């Protein structure tokens, strides 16, 4: 139990084991039971299978760093045998699959989860969302999802994290938060949304921010804010709220005439409200107008038919008579061909 695996450095006094940049392809099976802080970084671990950490062998392991290991798969039960695990770092791994049952079925004491640059694969993001929504990580207080190129987040992804205090979504490509719910995050203190692609925050999102009593720090820097009519609610909220860090530095990116303008200095008269910005409303209006035009065309067509009913009736009769004459001609020819006497007469027409 007190031995140190080959290619690792151990300190029993500090309860720490470091296996750094050793080209390991699997978790060493002979880890000392005293370890509390385990660093297995910069290696070549392709995956974490079930039972990657021996059951009952690491009862005190509380901090596990597996960053930069080329990990692609974390299988069901891979982290289930760690009863004291509080911190997990999987940053810098090109994860392709992350089982929602990686921590087992009974729940995990995990408090901090770092996934910087590990969620480039969309299916992994969906698996993570399923895991979070299952409630297996209800003790999670810090979640780091920065630097993952995220465009949108799965709906309800954070609803089962009542203990969450810090959420880092910085350096992604988030274009909106319409489907993101922050309801139930009563302990949330810090939310980092800087370095994304946010053009506006809708009133529904701002209302959620107002309803989070513990939320003290919101990072919104380096986003391309679109300064048109839709940004009025955001500007009003910025002026009344003390939650946003460095809000004085937030500036417009579009349109060109507003480029560099501080959001806090925008007045309603400066915004271009001549063009509707609500695309769904525009589409709805277009559909209504199209329906009215089609109904009008149909009414005119019926009116023309009614006014010309006699002519149409005569035309139909003419067509009927022509068809009848044509059919009588066919019938006459059929009778001649069917009567053998007429056939013989036709063949001896020279008599």
> For residues 265 and 170, what is the distance between their CA atoms, to the nearest angstrom?
25
The separation between the first and the last C-alpha atoms of the chain, rounded to the nearest angstrom, is 128
At residue 344, does pLDDT exceed 70?
no
DSSP assignment of 34-88 equals: T-SEEEEESS---EE-TTSS-TTT-TT--EEE-TTS---EE-TTTTTT-TT--EE
Residue 248 — very low, low, confident or very high, per pLDDT cuts 50/70/90?
Answer: very high
Q: How far apart are CA 40 and CA 332, in angstroms?
A: 100
221-245: per-residue pLDDT in tens? Answer: 999 999 998 999 999 999 999 999 9
Residue 144, phi then psi, degrees to nearest 5: -115, 115
CA separation for the pair 161, 187 (Å, rounded): 9
The answer to whether the bond into 255 is cis (omega within 30° of 0) is yes
Which pTM does this prediction carry? 0.76
Q: Indicate whether 275 pLDDT > 80.
A: no
User: Beta strand pairing status for 63-65 and 87-89?
Assistant: parallel
pLDDT tens digits, residue range 90-120?
999 999 999 999 998 888 999 999 999 999 9
Q: Across the chain, what does the average pLDDT equal? A: 88
Which residue from 146, 137, 132, 305 is spatially nearest to 219, judged by alpha carbons? 146
Share of the chain above pLDDT 90, in %: 66
What is the spatial order of strands in the sheet that 244-245 belongs to? 9-11, 16-20, 37-41, 63-65, 87-89, 112-114, 142-144, 166-168, 190-192, 217-219, 244-245
User: What distance in Å separates the CA atoms of residue 51 and residue 212, rounded to the nearest whole number?
Assistant: 39
For residue 279, name the pLDDT band (cuts at 50, 70, 90): low
């Amino acid at each position: 139990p007190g031995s140190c695996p080959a290619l690792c450095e151990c300190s029993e006094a500090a309860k720490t084991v470091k296996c750094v940049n050793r080209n390991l392809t699997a978790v060493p099976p002979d880890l000392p039971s005293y370890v509390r802080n385990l660093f297995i970084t910069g290696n070549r671990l392709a995956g974490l299978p079930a039972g990657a950490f021996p059951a009952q062998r690491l009862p005190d392991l509380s901090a596990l760093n597996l960053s930069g290991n080329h990990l692609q798969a974390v299988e069901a039960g891979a982290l289930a045998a760690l009863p004291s695990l509080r911190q997990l770092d999987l940053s810098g791994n090109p994860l392709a699959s992350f089982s929602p049952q990686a921590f087992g079925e009974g729940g995990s004491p995990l408090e901090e989860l770092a996934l910087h640059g590990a969620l480039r694969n969309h299916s992994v993001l969906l698996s993570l969302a399923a895991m979070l929504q299952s409630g297996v990580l209800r003790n999670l207080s810090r979640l780091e999802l920065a630097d993952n190129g995220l465009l949108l987040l799965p709906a309800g992804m954070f609803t089962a994290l009542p203990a969450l205090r810090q959420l880092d979504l910085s350096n992604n490509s988030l274009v909106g938060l319409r489907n993101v719910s922050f309801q139930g995050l009563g302990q949330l203190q810090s939310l980092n949304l800087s370095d994304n692609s946010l053009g506006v925050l809708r009133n529904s999102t701002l209302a959620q921010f107002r309803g989070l009593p513990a939320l003290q720090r919101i990072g919104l820097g380096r986003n391309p804010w679109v300064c048109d009519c839709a940004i009025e609610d955001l500007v009003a909220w910025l002026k009344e709220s003390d939650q946003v860090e460095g809000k004085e530095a937030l500036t417009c990116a579009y349109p060109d005439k507003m480029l560099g303008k501080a959001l806090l200095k925008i007045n309603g008269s400066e915004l271009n409200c001549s063009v509707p910005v609500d695309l769904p409303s525009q589409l709805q209006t277009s559909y209504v107008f199209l329906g009215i035009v089609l109904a009008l065309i149909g009414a005119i067509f019926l009116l023309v038919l009614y006014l010309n009913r006699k002519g149409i009736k005569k035309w139909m009769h003419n067509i009927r008579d022509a068809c009848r004459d044509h059919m009588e001609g066919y019938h006459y020819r059929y009778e001649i061909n069917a009567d053998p006497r007429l056939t013989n007469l036709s063949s001896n027409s020279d008599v």
